Every structure is written in C-alpha cells, then in structure tokens.
Amino acid sequence: SNEKEIVIIAGDGIGEEITAAARAVTEAAFQKAGVTAHWIEKKAGGAAIDAYGEPLPQDTIEACRKADAVLLGAVGGPKWDAVAPHLRPEQAILGLRKALGLFCNLRPVKIYKALEEYSPLKADLVADVDFVIVRELTGGIYFGERQEATGEGPDEVAWDKETYHRYEIERIMDVAVETAKKRRGKIASVDKANVLAASRLWRRIAEEKAKAHPEIAMDYLYVDNTAMQLVVNPGQFDVIVTSNLFGDILSDEGAVISGSIGLLPSASMGEGTALYEPIHGSAPDIAGQGIANPLGTILSAAMMCRHSLGLPAVADAIEKAVEQTLNDGYRTGEIYKDGMKKVGTAGMRDAVIARL
Ligand code: NAD
Ligand code: IPM
Ligand code: MN
C-alpha cells in the first residue's frame, strides 16, 4: 500500500534535531512519490526516563512491533550516567534490539567523492573504500551474564560473559553470505580465535559456511589485525562479519574513514520490525546548537525506504540528493573547510530537500 506507519524515536541530545531533519527529508521524498506516512512519535532513552521513569516503556515496544519501520536518533547523555545500570538510556536500544529480534546490524561505509580529502586517511588510500560491516546485534558480551562490581578493596570484581550459540553465528553468517553475493563476493570474518572460545566456534562456523558457498571468498582475520588493516588498506574490504562488541568498535573506526561519524547510517534487522539509526551517539557536546550533521540519519531513512517500506526508488532519490548536496559544497561544521558552504542541521536538511 502507499500508506506507511513509521515509529520515530528522537531520543536524547542531538536526537531531536537529526530525526526532525530526516523526517522532513523523507516527507518531501514521499510527497513526490505519492506515499503517505503516519509518523508515530515515541520516547526512549533518557527522555523516557524523565517522562516515565524507565528507558524503554512497553508502549514504545508495542508501537514498534506494529509499525512498518522504526527511525531512531540516539540515546544517552551525562544527565543519566549515574542511574542504575539496568535503567541506563542505552538499555532502550539494547532492549529494542532484543524485543524485536534484530540480530543483524548493517553498517555500510563508503567514500563520497566530494569528501575524499576530509578523511583522516590519505585520499589515495580511501578512493576505493566501499564495504559493509555485518554486526551481530543480539548476542555476545552485550547480552551475556554480567556481574556489577561487588566486593571490596583489591578483591572488588565485576565481569561480563561472552557467549555465542551455533544458531546465532549461523544466521549472521547467512546474512553476510547473502550480502556478499550482491556485492563483490568477499567476506572477512573477524574474531579473536587465538584467545576466545566463542571466537573459535565463530571461526569454525565461518569455515563451514565458506565450504558451503564456494562462490564466496572468505578471509579469517583477528580483530586487532583488522583494526590495523582498516587504517592501512581499507579498500581491501567488501563485507566484514563480526560479533556484537567487535562490530561496535570497528564501525566507529570505519565510519570516520568516510570523513565524519555523522555520515554513517545503519539498519538493524531480524525477526520483527527493523530499526534504522545513525551509528553515532547523542553527541551531548553539540546538542541543542543546531549544528549536528543530519546526513547519517537521513541516509538511515533511505535504508528504511529500501529495506522495510518497499520503496527503493525513494531510497535512491534520497541518496542521490545527499550526494548532490555534498558535491555542491554544503558542509556541517565537523566537515567544513574554507571555500565550502557552511550550514547547520536545518540548512543541510533544506539543501537535501531542494535536490530531491
Ligand atoms: P557520540 O557519537 O555521541 O560523539 C562522539 C563525537 O562525535 C562527539 O565529538 C560528537 O560531537 C561527534 N558527533 C557525533 N555525531 C555527530 C553528528 N551527527 N554531527 C557532528 N558531530 C557528531 O559518542 P559518545 O560521545 O561516546 O557518546 C555520547 C552518548 O551517546 C553516550 O551516552 C553514549 O552511550 C550514547 N551513544 C548512543 C548511541 C545510540 O543511541 N545509537 C550510539 C553511541 C553512543
Ligand atoms: C551503537 C551504540 C550502542 C551499541 C550503545 C549506545 C548501546 O554504541 O549503536 O553503536 O554499543 O551498540
Ligand atoms: Mn557504537
């Protein structure tokens, strides 16, 4: 149908500003395509703690379950750093991922021609960068047993357990294989199998998948080496598949190769309604100033149109408009250089809308 129901969760910090911009761009694109969106605003994170005393109200989960897709800004901030661990704003994201069964997080990293020289890496190193991180999202150390600090003195202790089941590794490998088939057919499976038991199972299953799919070229890399390879030769990667924690860390590293963490979108998918969000956080240091880069959220909305709403042409239109906006020299502060057109969040929004 041409009617779509989208839950929009602003969250905290810059979340309000960037989701408002992404919504305006999406609305403008929908209007041209004759699509009607019903936007349902829900709270999560610190905003929900303030309003309801909990980071992820049941009402928000229910609304997400019923919707066609969820668009989220970011959660967290210093205001809530002292709350009990299970009530932290970040629990909202973790809880939503779990409640919706979103075991797979896609984080595509690419270089825009117009931004080649904004990368912290040399332009010739990044010219060919185009890879996607397939991050496992509902398992591993994020969701394992956990002991908050207990005891006293030198014996005070805390721990977090890394666990992976075969079914969890198999299904994320399957996504990596399907993703690679639509790309250049290369997978780097990233682990720490020289130390961790969970990584040894991870690698064994990756080897099984490689055997079952001879058309795929599978590489096995340790995560420390991968962190280094991303800096010395990021162009070698096509699909990177890795665990929850390693994927979190490597995706910030990958993101900034493109020039700014504010540019990178993501899609979290699995069993239930999929969730779309930029990979950056709530950026408390620049919140409320109208200067945050909204492109990561706008590009997340494009991924939403493609993967959840059955609107690939709208996704293409938004992505092309973003590229044109960058080609035309529009820059938020963190990617600004002399001679370019400096804009804030709203200016970037309007520049993208004008190019749809
Ligand atoms: P962050 O990503 O919020 O900020 C890191 C740096 O990048 C800051 O200097 C920030 O100003 C800058 N930055 C981030 N997004 C930007 C944008 N769109 N435009 C311009 N600059 C941008 O990471 P952090 O400071 O480590 O975390 C802040 C809070 O966000 C914490 O509470 C953390 O838990 C939370 N967090 C939430 C998410 C999420 O909701 N998905 C992701 C990461 C961190
Ligand atoms: C991300 C974030 C989250 C994560 C936090 C906020 C729970 O850093 O989406 O990358 O670690 O997954
Ligand atoms: Mn992260």
pTM, whole model, 2 decimals?
Answer: 0.96
Instruction: Let me know if 72 is exposed, middle or buried by CB neighbors in 10 A (0-12, 13-18, 19+).
Output: buried
Q: Which CATH class is domain 1-107+261-356?
A: alpha beta
Ligand nearest the Cα of residue 75 is 1
Q: What percent of the chain has pLDDT over 70?
A: 100
pLDDT tens-digit map of 112-139: 999 988 999 999 999 999 999 999 999 9
ipTM value of the model? 0.97
3-state secondary structure of 148: strand
Residue-wise pLDDT tens digits, 49-66:
999 999 999 999 999 999
Domain extents in the chain: 1-107+261-356, 120-257
Rounded to the nearest whole angstrom, what is the distance from the C-alpha of residue 141 to the centroid of ligand 2?
A: 13
Tens-digit pLDDT profile for residues 34-46: 999 999 999 999 9
Contacts of 212 (CB under 8 A, 6+ apart): none
Numbered residues of the known binding site for substrate: 97, 107, 135, 224
Residues catalogued as catalytic = 142, 192, 224, 248, 252
Residue 137 alpha carbon, nearest atom of ligand 2:
12
Report the share of the chain in percent with pLDDT over 90: 97
DSSP string covering 62-83, please? HHHHHSSEEEEEE---GGGTTS
Q: Angle at the Cα of 134 (from 128 to 138), degrees rounded to 5?
A: 160
Ligand 2: atom nearest CA of 266 is 9
Residue 348 confidence class, pLDDT cut points 50, 70, 90: very high
CATH fold of 120-257: Isopropylmalate Dehydrogenase (3.40.718)
pLDDT for position 32: 97
Residue 158, classified by CB atoms within 10 Å of its CB into exposed (0-12), middle (13-18) or buried (19+), is exposed
With cut-offs at 50, 70 and 90, classify the pLDDT of residue 1: confident
Residue whose CB lies within 8 A of the most ligand 2 atoms, among 90, 107, 249, for a mutation test:
90
Query: Do the domains 120-257 and 1-107+261-356 match in fold?
Result: yes
Pocket of ligand 1 (CB under 6 A): 14, 18, 74-77, 90, 93, 261-262, 277, 280-286, 292-293, 296, 334
Q: Whose CA is nearest to atom 36 of ligand 1?
A: 281
Q: What is the mean pLDDT of residues 9-23?
A: 98
Residue 213: CB atoms within 10 A of its CB come to: 19
pLDDT at 75: 97
Annotated binding site for NAD(+): 77-90, 281-293
CA of 216 to the centre of ligand 3 (A): 28
Residue nearest to atom 8 of ligand 1 (CA): 283
Cα of 72 to ligand 1 centre, how many Å? 13
Confidence of residue 210 (pLDDT cuts 50, 70, 90): very high
What distance in angstroms lies between residue 77's CA and the mean position of ligand 2's atoms?
13
Residue 180 sits at φ, ψ, to 5 deg, of -65, -35
Residues with CB under 6 Å of ligand 2 are 76, 90, 93-94, 248, 279
